[in-house]
Amino acid sequence: MLEFQKVVREAELLPPPEFQLETQSIEFRTDPLISTRTRINVQRAGRLTEAKKVDLSDYINKTREDCLFCPENIEKTTPLFVKDIWEEGRIKNRCYVLFPNRYPFGEYHAVGTLTDKHFLDLDEFPLEPIVDNLLACKEYVLTVYKKKGARYPTWIWNHLPPSAASQVHPHTQIWIDTEPTNWTGALIKKSKEYFDKNKRSYWEDLVEKEKDRERWVGENDSLAIIATFAPHGNREIQFIFKEASNLAELSERQANDLVDCVLKTLKWYKEEGMNSFNLSTFSAGVDEKLNYYRLNVKMMSKPVFQPDYPYYTAYGGTVELWHGEYVVDTLPENVAQKLKHIFR
């Protein structure tokens, strides 16, 4: 059955200027489904010199000048879908425009803008355009699935350079693969093994076990919101759908509920002084309505982007990329307690 395993170990050191004995605790946590390991030391948050008041206005103005995604350029600077995929070239609605990624890493890989504005801060995103974007992505997913048979969609949102976004202008990405990504594939496989062994859904067990406990943030009609036990990044939040197992199943109502959770989390990231984040969905295949798997979504905050202060650290170094372990400095239980008020 589902277990939250952790071991606390201590590191001793003699830090300057007094060189007196100091002990720091490191929690080694194992993900209950996938067994990846996370190392949490909350004192690592003190590594960086106190972030100064970050002023992004120069950076935003500079990148505004020749932004590919701003309304006056987007028609000239972004690719069109081949006719076979989307006759009109781009998928358009009120606020979003969806078009192929200029440098795709999959056969069906698109980018969607979220606003006409070149920059929005984390607490400035309105709900409708993001719901529109998500539903446009769903339409693209269904089209690709029908015409080409690729069926594993991933919807992601990177914001500002620390998240690996190359464009400042707010945008999301969607791609559809024939095979799930490594991570999604492992989640689906492990969920199936868990179900076969326990005759219960891992995701139902997870929600039941976390409900109203220290990592529980809240819920709405469509989703449960939890701070991940063994997170892969700081301030990691997980949204677990109660009904859907894949992205193409989402109704407008479910899309609304997801975006509402995302925007509340962004408001809190802003309160915490953050300005950059990542979001990703982990979806079963388009034609799969799996009783042992739930569509789920994760968000994490990224190091604060400070263009005039080049000493901010990058996220995702040797430990994450080559050793498959995650070093985190926020405690999930604190994350949940701090985020809760926005969901009330």
Q: By CB under 5 A, name the binding residues for Zn ion.
A: 67, 69-70, 118, 169
Nearest residue (CB) to Zn ion, 70 versus 227: 70
Strands (E), the chain: 5-13, 22-30, 37-40, 91-92, 97-100, 108-113, 152-159, 171-177, 216-219, 223-227, 234-241, 277-282, 296-301, 325-328
Nearest residue (CB) to Zn ion, 118 versus 138: 118
Q: Which of 123, 25, 50 is nearest to 331 (CA)?
A: 25
Residue nearest to Zn ion (CB): 67
Write down the least CB distance from residue 114 to Zn ion, Å.
Answer: 11
Nearest residue (CB) to Zn ion, 118 versus 264: 118
d(CA 204, CA 202): 6
Write down the least CB distance from residue 67 to Zn ion, Å.
Answer: 3
Write down the least CB distance from residue 169 to Zn ion, Å.
Answer: 3
Nearest residue (CB) to Zn ion, 118 versus 215: 118
Nearest residue (CB) to Zn ion, 18 versus 65: 65
Nearest residue (CB) to Zn ion, 118 versus 232: 118
Q: Which of 236, 337, 334, 309 is nearest to 49 (CA)?
A: 309
The answer to whether the beta carbons of residues 114 and 131 sit under 8 Å apart is: no
Nearest residue (CB) to Zn ion, 125 versus 292: 125
Nearest residue (CB) to Zn ion, 69 versus 125: 69
d(CA 31, CA 189): 15
- Phi and psi, residue 108, nearest 5°: -125, 90
Write down the least CB distance from residue 160 to Zn ion, Å.
Answer: 13
* Omega within 30 of 0 (cis) for the link into 17: yes
d(CA 105, CA 228): 28
Q: How many C-beta neighbours within 10 Å does residue 89 have?
A: 16
Write down the least CB distance from residue 80 to Zn ion, Å.
Answer: 19
Task: Evaluate the CA torsion angle 278, 243, 330, 13 in order and state its sign.
Answer: negative
Write down the least CB distance from residue 63 to Zn ion, Å.
Answer: 7
Write down the least CB distance from residue 119 to Zn ion, Å.
Answer: 7
CA distances from residue 262 to 152, 225, 238, 292, 306 in whole angstroms, order as listed: 22, 10, 10, 24, 23
Write down the least CB distance from residue 294 to Zn ion, Å.
Answer: 35
